[in-house]
Structure 1
Amino acid sequence: MTDPRPDDAAIPLDLVDLSSPTEERNPASAELDSLDARGMVDVILGEDATVAGAVQEQAGPISELVEVCVGAIAAGRTVHYLGAGTSGRLAVLDAVELAPTFNADESMVAAHLAGGAGAFLTAVEGAEDDAEAGAALVHEVCVAGDVVIGLAASGRTPFVRGALQAARAAGMPTALISANPRAELAGDADIPILLDVGPEVVTGSTRMKAGTAQKLTLNALSTAMMVRLGTTYGNLMIDVRPTNAKLVGRTVRILVQASGASAEEAGRVLQAAGGSVRVALVALLSGADVDRAAAALADYPRDPRRAGDPAGIRSAVAALAKQP
């Protein structure tokens, strides 16, 4: 195997002593290559089982960030994820999945990967080390009031540093999601979320526990954001985009689960409502026709400030119940 580094490339000796648990050797997997398949899987899954607890310990700052992001989106601003490598790819995955689930778009949550979209499939050499590129991206895509969230497993990625520093200099709220409790970039974030997952099973492979922890954090963050913005009724999706047969079936099932109506009635009302799950749900819960349901909903649009009913469904149903 040939050395992947060019002959004239300098060895970054300053990073040899990088202070990050993900770069330490895990004693639980020190003899990993000597184990059989079952032994390897047991070690890997045993270490993975510790990740949820590490994320739970950061519930406070995650919740704080939820409120900051909800306020920004409600004001017409955007939440931006920025990262490199595994961290950046997880950010992209979280952002794009919000569209079919919550009918969100890039004006609400956008993800930016060091090296550009092509880096999702193929690594772009040196992209994560370019702090100026991170800063330039913030200047290009962000406006006042946007939120900038950097993701860096090691807590030191220059691309993320440049982005966070540029955002803070412009007065934007900032956050960091890192798997290093001693992250260098913590001081560049208003809300640091530092996940103490310990050493990886394969030393330095942050696609493992660090990646899982970041994914769990993003799951909690973005889901709570979207629910606070009124995209669900209880735990049921009411802004789902029915873009395929499975999702069309899901919309009818949601109405059945929420209202107790039969699938036939739910389908009929959904069709009469022009495919709007919200209007159909209010109609089914109140017994009103879809026109009255739509009018009631117009008086109670989605609003995260409406405690206990950000979606407006309960309020619209209650208002219809008071009408003669």
Structure 2
Amino acid sequence: MPLFWRIFALNAAVLVAATVVLLLGPVTVSTPVVLTEALVLAVGLALMLVANAALLRVGLAPLRRLSRAMSTIDLLQPAPRPLVTGHSGIADLIRAFNTMLDRLEAERATSTARALSAQEGERRRVAQELHDEVGQTLTAVLLQLEQAARRAPEPVRAELRQVQETTRGSLDEIRRIARRLRPGVLEELGLNAALKALITEVTGHTDLTVTHRLGPDLPPLDAETELVLYRVAQEGLTNAVRHARASAVEVSLQRRGQDVELRVTDDGRGAAGAAEGAGIRGMRERALLIGAQLSVDRSATGGTEIRLRAPIRQEGPAT
């Protein structure tokens, strides 16, 4: 029965019941109205309203649950679908809402995959240009400065040496940026080696103390899962350096049954109650691509703990 007719039937049943009581019962209405008759009618009206409200509350309860789900749903944080309850129109509405969510999540995953793939491609291109173009140019400048310093008189030679050191520092910084844009060690040596190189790089350029616990029984993973794990660890360390004001961070990668779990825990000021920035939302989008679960909570030390639990997906055979 459609929702309109169900509500109409409920109200009609209450009114018919009230009419039958008035016709068959001893209740009458005098002119002017007697106090006892007014009391009886008031009680009857109150009972009708209470019965009507109770019936409507029960009948429309699935709509309230659906409304709460619609107001709190977040496509970046998958949640259980609303249960398909109620009759006819209400059940159809909840079923249509769940279908819409499935379609939106699938379309978002597809568009996000394309965007992140394009982003990684652009990062590779920029890293390659930094390494090949800017890096080689600065290397040539260093050689020219070396030759000029050899022929220059002593006061000028000292200044040229200083320019050499500045140029060499710029070259190292460009190479470091290129490595962050395109983690070649990840493709060549695997996830464990890439995480260790990332930690070494962070500790070499900051005062942050980073420890790691990488499980010895980690299974081989497909390239997409490894890249997501690496990027989440990279973003977690970047947040610890730039925003958390942390002094120590622990990076852990362990096997948990049929999943692998990455945890990045710092002792900084924590992120409880703070709005999620682009970095965390980017991590959530990457997690959705591989069917992983991402959580950002307060750590035991009062800082932030980023936890990513990803299903083990091994690289398929070459075709």
TM-score under structure 1 normalisation? Answer: 0.24
Greater share of helix: 2
Structure with more relative contact order (C-alpha pairs < 8 Å, separation 6 or more): 1
Higher Cα Rg, which structure? 2
